[in-house]
Structure 1
Amino acid sequence: MKRISLFIVINALSLYIVSRLMHSVYIGSLTSLITLTLIFGCLNVFIKPLIQFFSIPMTFLTLGLFSFVINGIVLKLAFSIVPGTHISGFLNAILAAILLSIINTIFYNVFD
């Protein structure tokens, strides 16, 4: 339970930082941020493995770089589900996913 709550807090902080660093990412309120964090976590658990499975050939051909596109798809999907949040453009979703991965890595190395 402690690990799950740490995951939620780190992802919420990371999403907030990404929204502050990128003008194309908008999170309207704290409620939207928490909802976005929970939806993004659920999508990472249930939908992302399916997308990864069906895109194995493309990921193999791009030497793993297609995983950034997959992360962008999941992030864009999460933003489209949660009201009060917006991310403009698919390229911005990919860049936000890369930035989110970097920030999450830093936080997990500090807190874990």
Structure 2
Amino acid sequence: MNFLLKILITAVNVFVLAYVLPGIEIKDFLTAVIVAFVLAILDAIVKPLLILFTLPATIFTLGLFLFVINAVIILIDAYFVHGFKVEGFWYALLFSMCLSLLNSFVHKRAFPEKSDGRHIQD
């Protein structure tokens, strides 16, 4: 259940950011849901591989290269999802940074944690 709720929250954030940020176009909310789902799959499968292969660059840049990896994941997502368009790398970078910030803000409020790090159950 939490997975579906997180996908829907990410979809809303993708939909909002696509209309707020330049260089990002999205067809409709269903496309945003598909983008969020594909993004979850890419984050689970492709992102760890990219991090592993680019570990020296990530260490050398003290983790800042992870922003580049996030932008590449967004570009891959745009390649696979019809109706989601990203104008270029810099727009993907801006979009990924804003999406990460917005998702962390909303998820902290939607899924509060106890002081020991466990999620609070209803």
TM over 0.5: yes
Residue of structure 2 in register with 1:90 after alignment: 89
Q: Where in structure 2 are the equivalents of 1:16-95 lying within 5 Å?
A: 16-95=15-94
CA distance in 1, matches of 2:62, 2:32: 33
AA paired with 1:52? I
3-state SS, counterpart of residue 86 of structure 1: strand
Residue of structure 1 in register with 2:117 after alignment: none
Gaps of 5+ in 2: 112-122
Q: Where in structure 2 are the equivalents of 1:1-16 lying within 5 Å?
A: 2-16=1-15
Moved segments of 4+, more than 2 Å: none
> How far apart are residue 29 of structure 1 and its match?
1.5
Q: What percentage of aligned pairs have identical amino acids?
A: 27
CA distance in 2, matches of 1:105, 1:35: 20
- Normalising to structure 1: TM-score of the pair? 0.94
Equivalent pairs, count: 111
Q: Which has the higher helix share?
A: 1
Query: Deviations for 1:4-63, whole angstroms, at most 9, x for unmatched residues?
Result: 012101111111121121121101112211211111111111101000111111000101
3-state SS, counterpart of residue 83 of structure 1: coil
User: Which has the greater radius of gyration?
Assistant: 2
3-state SS, counterpart of residue 25 of structure 2: strand
Gaps of 5+ in 1: none
